Amino acid sequence: MQLTHGWRNVLPPKVVDRYEVLETRNAATILKATDLAAFTEVLQTLDRFSLTAAHLLLAGGNEGLVAKQLNAAMRKRGWREARVDTSVQHTLVKFRAPGTNETAETTWRPPAQSWEGYKADWVKGRVAGDCEWNAKDGNLDRNFASYRSLYEAGFIDGAVLVTRTMFDLRELEATLISELMQVGAEQAAAVTGYPLKGFKASIERINKARAEGKKELRLGTTTSTNTTKIIERLKRGDGGGCPILVLGICARTFDGVRLNAPPPGRLTQPVATLTEDEMLDESNWADE
């Protein structure tokens, strides 16, 4: 399947300048035309989001801090998880043979077959979507299956998949790790506004990885979700007829705040003690 480029005439410059964009079947054009309100909410959320050093250095659990923040922002706007469950009932009809004493056809109905579909994390109006920041790349197969079933059942007109790029973010993560090991956890917490304990845990993890000769980059694996894994599936047509727009968080999404060169006055502020709920609150995201 060929990738399309209608997004160049649809997406706002601030989004195009800060994200890598891929699409099939002119997804951006279709989503703008069929559900402008829902599509605008996705773009507004991504416009407000900026990648920080904390996103690349702190552990976020199974979901990851980026996905947690974006999912929380979408939930706040009324987006919900959804899936298509399917039930099939087959009926065998046997007709009477002409010229016989048979009076009517006979039918046979075996038990209905039912199965659950895969969830999409964000569904609202005619749009579905997910954020796959650094999960196993097998998650992408479930994402595409979910979009395909929602589309073929007539529930959506297209989907938006938010992910990350690979090589540029690996380089940025390596640079930030060097800065963290240089300045220490307290300065990193003061610069980013994220909890001190998280940076202390990151330094411990990095030291352990180095001592054991293991990879210290969280984004170092080639089997995690990223645009290089997605483009294969787009060109293969894994989404079926569903138009899919992919927006990749990349080095251009980074807020530019370096751990070893903080903005003036940043280090005079108290070390952050944000709770997890406060970290996920969109009002506490980095200023644009």
For residue 79, is it within any domain? yes
For residue 184, is it within any domain? yes
For residue 106, is it within any domain? no
For residue 112, is it within any domain? no
Full strand arrangement of the beta sheet holding 19-23: 19-23, 244-249, 158-164, 127-131, 120-124, 80-82
- Beta strands 244-249 and 19-23 are antiparallel
For residue 16, is it within any domain? yes
For residue 99, is it within any domain? no
Cα–Cα distance, 160 to 248 (Å, whole number) = 11
If phi over 0 gives left and psi between -120 and 50 gives alpha, with beta otherwise, what is residue 246? Answer: beta
Q: Residue 183 maps to which CATH number?
A: 3.40.91.20
Count of structural domains, the chain:
1
Could you please report the per-residue DSSP string of 94-122? Answer: EPPPTTSS--S-EEE-PPPEEE--PPEEE
Question: Residue 188 belongs to what domain range?
Answer: 6-85+118-284
For residue 95, is it within any domain? no
Query: What mean pLDDT value characterizes the chain?
Result: 91
For residue range 165-224, list pLDDT tens digits in order. Answer: 999 999 999 999 999 999 999 999 999 888 999 999 999 999 999 999 998 998 988 899
Calculated CA dihedral for residues 37, 66, 76, 28, nearest 10 degrees: 10
For residue range 71-124, list pLDDT tens digits in order. Answer: 999 999 999 999 999 999 999 988 888 888 877 777 889 999 999 999 999 999
AA letter at 134? N
Q: Is the pLDDT of residue 67 over 90?
A: yes
